[in-house]
Structure 1
C-alpha cells in the first residue's frame, strides 16, 4: 500500500511554496553520511531552465485569535544520545520554532524558513525555473508570526507539533500561529536528517539521511525516535527555564502533542512514552504501531480524510487504534480533503497556480484549526466546546465517526 505520508509530485511543489527564511540561512549542506537521493517528482524537468514566468507570492491564512503570534527559533542538543541517523555527527541536535501568545503590534514579521532550508527543498524537488520558485520567492511567504514580539502575561498550555515524513517543521505554521493566537505556546520540532533540511545552530542545513533508503524505512523506529525528540524538547522547556528565555509562559501541567501524517503517529508514540502529555491529535497519519488496548487512556483526536481514514477504510490502523483508545476520544473525517489538506501545502500550492483537491485549501486549514483548537481547549484548558459534540451545519464536510 502506498505510504500516505510521502510527498506526491504536486504536494511536493506545494511544499516548496512554503519555504521562507527563519534567519539568514546557508545553502543546504550535507556530510557524506547524510547525503540523500532527490525524489522523483520533477526528474523530467528540463536541464536548462528558462527565465521565471510565474510570479509567486505566498501568504498563509490569517490567525483568528485575540493575541498576536510571537516567534523565536531555538537550538537544542541532547547530549545523552548520538544522532540515530548520522551517529558520526555527534549528539542529537534539534531546531525548534517556538510560537507564543504576543502583544499585537510588537515585533517584526518572521520569516518562514532559512534560505538554506529553502535551497534544500529546491535541491530535492528539482523545481523548474519557470515556476518562479526560488529561495528568494519562497522566503517572501507571509506567516503572520512576529520575531521579537512582546509576550502576553500569563501561563499557557504547551503543544508540541511534528510534521509529516520528509517535511520540515514549518509546514504546520498555520496551525501553530492559530493556537498561539488563542493562548497556547507551540513548539514546532524539526527532526534532523529526516526531511529536506533543518538549519542547525552552526548554520548548516543537512539534508535527509533516511529519505529514499529502504533500509531505514522502519516506521515504528522513526516514530519512536520522534517520541524521544519530543520528550527531550518538553524536558528542555519545562526544567529550569534555561532552554528558552520565555519558558515561564508554559503551564507544565497542560501539555499536548499533535502532528500530521508520521507526525501524528509520533504524537501517539510520545503519549505512550511520556505521561506528561495529557492529550494528542493525529492528522491523517497511519499509526506506527497502533496502540495496544489499555496503553493509551488519555484524550485523543483522530482527524483525517474521508476516503482513507473512515471506518473500514484502507487506513486499517485507525480502526485498531480507535478500539484500543480508553480515554475521551473523537474520530472525525473530512470529505473532499487529501493528505496535505491538514497542513500548509495546499494553500500555497493554490497560490503557486497548481491544482487543488475538491476541498478548498482555505477550508482545509480552517477545519484543521477549528477542530484541533477545540479539542485542546476542552482537554488542556477544560473549556467545553460544542463543536466537538456532533455534526455542525457550519462544517458539513466534517463527519463524526464511527
Structure 2
C-alpha cells in the first residue's frame, strides 16, 4: 500500500489522538496505538463554543439519490446519504441539544483503532454540542457551505467548524457518504460501515489503490451536487431551505473530503469557492483550472501533508486559476482541522511531540481562516487575515511555491 502520510507524523499523532479511529485515505495501514488511560463512563466532553452572534440550530436529513446506484455496494440500490444541517437560529426557542453521534457510530470508530475497550462509546457519543434540534430558523438569507469529512471518518468530526460557521451566519451541510465511514447510522437502525475502505485496502498495487481513491473523490463530488440539488431545488428536502442564498455556495472538506471539494468545483459551476484541509488531490486539478474561482489550501507543515508526498499540492497550486492561498500550520498534524484535538486533550491524552499544537490554537486557526475565506468570497467582505502573516497567528505560514 502507498505511504501517504509521513510515518513519523502519522503514527505518533494518531496514537495521541484517541478518536482517529478511522482508516483514512491519506495513511497506510498503521500499527495499533499505544493504549491510553481508560476513560470513565462519567467523563464529559464538550466542543468549544461557537464564536458568532447567532444561536445554532441543527437537523439531520436522510437523502436518497434515485438516479445513482451505490458504487460500493450495488446490491444496496440507490445511493444514500446522511446530512447534518447546522443553521443560524433565533435566540429564543430550541430546548434539545443536538447529538454528536450515535453510540454505535462511536463504538465502531473506536473499535477501528482498537480503543473500544479503553474509552466507552457513550463518552464520545454524548459529547456536548452547542446546537439545538428544534431551534426556529433565523430570519434572512444566508450562504451555504457543504462539508465532506475524511475517508473512513464520520461527518460528526467536523461539528465544531460547522457550528461555528452557522453561528457566523452560514447554513452548513455536513455529509456522510454511504459506505465511506467506520459507521454511519441510517433510519430504521441500519449502520453502514466502510466498504470503500476495504476496497482500497485490497487494491493490488499503488496505482489501483489511487484509482479507488480517485473514485471516492469524484463520487463524493456527485454526492455534494445532489445535496445541493435537494437543498436548493424546486422541491427541497429541508423545511428551512428558503433561508439559503443559492447564489452564494462553497464546498470544503478534510483529507479526501478536501479532494472532493475540488472535484465538486470541477464538476459543478454552482460551487463558488472551495477549501481543501490537508487532503491529497486524488483527482488532479487540470491545467485549465477550476473556472477562475477562489480556493483555499489549508494544511500541515510543508512536507508533512499528504499532498506533498506525490506533488499533488504543488501541481494543484500551479493549476488553480483564481484567487488562491496555500497556508500551512506549524506544529500541526493531519487531524488538526477536525474535532479530534479538542476531544483528545479533554481526555488527558499525551501531546504528540510531532504535532504539539494545542487544541485551542487548532480550533481558533481552523475556524478563523476558513471563516475569513468564506466571508471574503461569499460575502464580499475583505479579510486582512488572508493578506499575509499576522502577529496573532504566528503558526500560520503563507506558502509561495
TM-score (normalizing by structure 1): 0.87
Q: Is the 8 A contact 2:250 2:374 kept in 1?
A: yes
Counterparts of 1:80 and 1:12 in 2: how far apart (Å)? 41
1:99, CA displacement in angstroms? 0.4
Match of 2:349 in 1: 354
- Tell me, yes or no, if structure 1 residue 115 matches structure 2 residue 103: yes
> Residue deviations 1:340-385, cap 9 Å, x none?
1011111111112212321112101110100000001111111111
Instruction: Report what 1:32 is aligned to.
Output: none
Name 2:219's counterpart in structure 1: 225
In the alignment, which residue of structure 2 is the partner of 1:277?
271
Match among 308, 312, 316 for residue 311 of structure 2: 316
From 330, 337, 341, the equivalent of 2:336 is 341
Are the structure 2 counterparts of residues 62 and 115 from structure 1 closer, same or farther at C-alpha, using a change threshold of 3 Å?
same
The structure-2 alpha-carbon separation of the partners of 1:51 and 1:339, relative to structure 1 and needing over 3 Å to count, comes to closer
CA shift, 1:223, in A, is: 0.2
Q: Which residue of 2 aligns with 1:198?
A: 184
**Which stretch shifts more, 3-12 or 294-303?**
3-12
Mark the runs of 5 or more structure 2 residues left unpaired by the alignment.
23-28
CA distance in 1, matches of 2:335, 2:150: 9
Cα distance in 1 between the residues matched to 2:46 and 2:266: 36
Q: 1:202 to 1:320 in 2, by over 3 A?
A: same
Shift in Å at residue 15 of structure 1? Answer: 5.8
Residue 74 of structure 1 corresponds to which residue in structure 2?
A: 61
CA-based RMSD? 2.6
- How far did residue 104 of structure 1 move? 2.7
| Helix, strand or coil at the partner of 1:396 | coil
Query: 2:259 touches 2:282 (CA, 8 Å); kept in 1?
Result: yes
Q: C-alpha distance in 2, partners of 1:8/1:214? A: 21
Answer yes or no: is the 8 Å Cα contact 2:253–2:261 preserved in 1. yes
Q: Which residue of 2 aligns with 1:380?
A: 378
Is 2:325 aligned against 1:325? no
Residue pair 1:180, 1:186 contacting (<8 A) in 2 also: yes
Q: How far off its partner does 1:176 sit?
A: 0.3
Q: Any idea what SS the aligned residue of 2:185 has?
A: coil
Aligned length: 377
When the two structures are superposed, what TM-score results if normalisation uses the length of structure 2?
Answer: 0.87
Other structure's SS at 1:16 match: coil
Contact 1:12 1:41 in 2 (8 A): no
Shift in alpha-carbon separation, 1:145–1:313, aligned structure 2, 3 A? same
Q: How much does 1:57 deviate? A: 1.9
Alpha-carbon distance in structure 1 between the residues aligned to 2:242 and 2:21: 31
Find the aligned partners of 1:17 and 1:332 in 2 and give their Cα distance: 23
The residue that corresponds to 1:289 in the other structure is 283
**Which range moved further: 174-183 or 350-359?**
350-359
Shift of 1:55: 5.5
Q: Distance in 1 between matches of 2:13 and 2:103?
A: 22
- Relative to structure 1, the CA distance from residue 255 to residue 12 in structure 2 (aligned partners, 3 Å threshold; closer, same or farther) is farther
